[in-house]
Amino acid sequence: MGQYLSGLRNKYDVESQKNGECHICKKQIEIEELVMCVRCNIKLHSLCEDALRDGRGYCKCPNCNRVGSLGIKI
């Protein structure tokens, strides 16, 4: 399992060099702060997603507008 997780981290490190910026604020994202849409694969900071949610009880992707499609990728 440890090799699998380190492989994911290495994959993210490579991806972050190419396109690891937040869809909302355009700043680089650390892996601990990463939220992604399972439909369109955009990346967000968890704090940016919280601000976007604005107290609603559900999440909605700012790109594809699908409800419930945001989450963390482990």
Model-wide pTM > 0.75: no
Q: How would you write the pLDDT of the chain (74 residues) with one tens digit per residue?
A: 444 445 555 555 545 444 589 999 999 999 889 999 999 999 999 999 999 998 899 999 999 999 999 988 66
Q: What CATH number belongs to 2-71?
A: 3.30.40
Residues in the chain: 74
Enumerate the domain spans of the chain.
Answer: 2-71
Q: What is the distance of C-alpha 67 from the center of its chain?
A: 15
> 């993210």: which residue's tokens?
12
Instruction: Please work out, in degrees rounded to the nearest 5, the angle formed at the alpha carbon of residue 51 by the alpha carbons of 45 and 57.
Output: 105
Integer Cα distance of 66 and 40 in angstroms: 9
Decide if 20 contacts 29 (C-beta within 8 A). yes
Report the first-to-last Cα separation within the chain, whole angstroms. Answer: 12
